Structure 1
């Protein structure tokens, strides 16, 4: 099913007369496909791709042409044209070739009249041989690209966690509303029954007041639950956006679908050791720290170059006319070479920069260790909470069934004239409280399950609810 169609599921009725519903899986897909934060993370990834392209530009071959001419008092001092091509390589070696065409009456004695060409190479023999700024920038840009992907996973984890917690709260408010509405209808029917019994002389008139009071109590609760449900619907709407980047209000007639809890849990990894391992190996925040360590390692290598002497050698083979190596005799004729040596006597700047780089690495390693421990503790904590809630739900389900049995038994006794409305009302209130507590526990259980995946760093990889 196309995403566009999926988005329209909750604004179109599947068939005439059916209640419109929005399931957790449909809501999940809408958030993943249309929420602005998701689109922003995609933009960040594209920006990192652009930065990587910029860094690759430092290794692009460069073609250039320099031309100058000078005349004074009718004399042609110099007419100079020099097209050239330079090709930087990964290991700091640079290849170059070019042509010089020099004419004029007032030339420098070191300049060669006419057209000459050269093929050359420049090699760093110490500093910048293993690492230089161009290579460091490119390697760090590749790391930033990977970090953008981890940032996307982190943002998606946080977004989906917040969105699904909002959905489960909306679902909880609807279920609570249905429970109170059922009790309100029963209280209304009971009031009508009592009034008829009073008219027939089977019940005292005070029972009408007792039944009316219970109905009014449930009526007030019903209004409160309707308000709570509407507020929860608005909270869910905050996560709904169209493909055109416009916010969408969830229609009032749409209700949350009834979830199959077993089906929901089947989408998640609920094994503690597996969760801890996944969190340790592939949590987006932990991966971000690792990538930052890699970037700092590159910076450390670059700063180490500041401790080395600068020793660059260059060689150009010269020839008349176009560039040619035919008949070349290196360092015998037709050549130009250069040697540059440079070494600060105290290396103060280099030693300080290298020390800083080492300290940054140590600091970031400590941050990584601390974050890994925090994530593992968080996962174990939520898993214990997950296991505890399973036990509480089983107990509460049994309690709700018992309270409902007590209400039915009391109603049967009331019809036989062996009980009172006061006892029925008391039983109903207890049963209602127990049912709401069960709803709360189940909602908390679902939120905890989703949180467990989020804190393990794998919620964004889940195929959907």
Structure 2
């Protein structure tokens, strides 16, 4: 019976022996986070939004593209040539409220309108806004707003990437925590197995009681159970990390089973934060704040454009005319300039200015609303930073306390081992001390993970992750 019982114990020791696996490869946090920034669909989509805004600038500048037009209109009836009109024109918009025009005409017929010159003629001239539209018009406002929208899209991208990297960092450090817990249980399980093996030998030699072997085996079984649970959590964390793994071809891939987190990099992220530095960087540079500031810039352009509606529209048009297709022929002759021109004035002013007043006031209200939203957003961000900063400091203080507590429990555990070897203690007390030490080391891993996560959350709140 004694031999049978010893066989059962030895079987329990070896039943959970780990199989030889593929060599482990460290998957560093920097490598992981750079891959997320470069290949994740959210990051790519954010970059495409910036490219789209850049194309918006190109489209807005298209309003100042030169254009060529040609019109032809003619009529012949019962053999009579009533009229024919041919007009080709080059128009060049200038971004100072002016359009330059040059064209050639060839007109004729028996019933041609009297205000049109018969034969081949040419002209060169300009149309300029003197009051409304002199400082800014819809075309120039569109370009300015397109440029502001481009800058705003950059900040929107930064905000999206800031959120993405926080989620990605949380997944990595949760994966790290699950891995560290698994390794902790493996280490304690190895110690418990070795202890059980030695106690079994001592029991065979009559130096230990059967109760000691049962106590040692119970500890092994308990650690095996905890290790099994930690493996489940580690596998779950690995699958959750896979959500952020994409290759350069925008294809997702699974985290290889032999990849492990970089356990040496944790110390690089357990560093004290400066609240003043975070605030000084967040208030002027946070992407969400910058978005509101660029929105205000766009509204300021709109306000200036709406203000133009209060001004009368006064447009001057002047053309230099010439015979033939050379508009500048003999232009140096003063008499020629006096006798070959076409001039016109367009003037318009609304009497009540109700449209101008209403549109301008609407823009002012938008500016006020945006300023209020900006003030609220600044306060929210400052509160977030303060909240996560305080949380980070509390975790840092607890981290130091748990480190001291681990040191105390290790001393007590070693002392209990010494007493046990001298026959002054029991295996029950050894297991109790060891379980307490294990529990405290678990808390240490949890605090390490929370401390790093809170650091990233604080930097996220300050808009610094992108």
TM-score of the pair, normalised by structure 1: 0.91
Counterpart mapping for 1:217-228 below 5 A: 217-228=222-233
Q: Contact 2:185 / 2:227 at 8 angstroms: preserved in 1?
A: yes
8 A Cα contact 2:23 2:258, kept in partner: no
Alpha-carbon shift at residue 291 of structure 1 (Å): 0.3
Deviations 1:263-292 (A, max 9, x none): 3467xx933222211111111111111000
Local SS of the residue matching 1:41: helix
Matches within 5 A, 1:218-297: 218-264=223-269, 270-297=273-300
Match of 1:383 in 2: 389
Shift of 1:365: 0.8
The 5 Å alignment of 1:292-371 reads: 292-321=295-324, 322-324=326-328, 325-328=331-334, 332-371=338-377
Matches within 5 A, 1:130-279: 130-264=135-269, 270-279=273-282
Q: Distance in 1 between matches of 2:312 and 2:170?
A: 60
Partners of 1:358 and 1:98 lie apart in 2 by 43
Distance 2:223 2:214 in 1: 14
Question: Which structure 1 segments of 5+ residues have no match?
Answer: 1-15, 461-465
Aligned mates of 2:123, 2:264 — CA distance in 1: 77
Deviation (angstroms), 1:244: 1.0
Aligned pairs (5 A) from 1:8-87: 18-87=23-92
CA distance in 1, matches of 2:447, 2:431: 24
Instruction: Report SS of the residue matched to 2:125.
Output: strand
Tell me the CA shift for residue 226 of structure 1: 0.1
Q: What is the rounded CA distance, in whole Å, between the counterparts of 1:397 and 1:128 in structure 2?
A: 71
Q: Displacement, 1:211?
A: 1.9
Distance 1:152 1:289 in 2: 14
Distance 1:427 1:327 in 2: 112
What are the Cα deviations for residues 90-147 of structure 1, in whole angstroms up to 9, with x where unaligned?
A: 1211111111110212101111100111111112122222221111111000001111
SS at match of 2:178: helix
Partner-residue secondary structure (3-state), 1:459: coil
Shift in Å, 1:185: 1.7
Number of aligned residues: 443
Secondary structure in structure 2 of the residue aligned to 1:410:
helix
Distance 1:107 1:149 in 2: 58
CA distance in 2, matches of 1:307, 1:334: 36
The CA deviation at 1:330 is 8.9
Relative to 1, partners in 2 of residues 1:215 and 1:262: Cα closer, same or farther, differing over 3 Å?
Answer: closer
Name whichever of 190-199 and 141-150 sits farther off.
190-199
Match of 1:10 in 2: none
Runs of 5+ in structure 2 lacking a partner?
1-20
C-alpha displacement of 1:54: 0.3
Helix, strand or coil for the counterpart of 1:131? coil
Contact 1:317–1:330 (8 Å) recurs in 2: no
* Matching residue of 2:14: none
Alpha-carbon distance, 1:426 to partner: 1.4
Aligned CA RMSD, in angstroms, stands at 1.9
| More off after superposition, 300-309 vs 172-181 | 300-309
Instruction: Report the Cα distance in structure 1 between the residues aligned to 2:30 and 2:239, rounded to whole angstroms.
Output: 19
How far, CA to CA, are the matches of 1:338 and 1:284 in structure 2? 51
Is the Cα contact below 8 Å between 2:84 and 2:112 reproduced in 1? no
CA distance in 2, matches of 1:282, 1:115: 63
For the pair shown, the structure with the greater C-alpha radius of gyration is 2
The answer to which of 172-181 and 367-376 deviates more is 367-376
Distance 1:326 1:99 in 2: 20
Which moves more between the two structures, 44-53 or 376-385? Answer: 376-385
Report if the CA contact (8 A) 2:46-2:160 is conserved.
Answer: yes
Query: 1:391: how far off?
Result: 2.0
Q: Distance in 1 between matches of 2:233 and 2:263?
A: 18
Q: 1:173 to 1:278 in 2, by over 3 A?
A: same
Q: Is the 8 A contact 2:270 2:451 kept in 1?
A: no
The SS at the match of 1:126 is coil
Between stretches 319-328 and 286-295, larger displacement belongs to 319-328
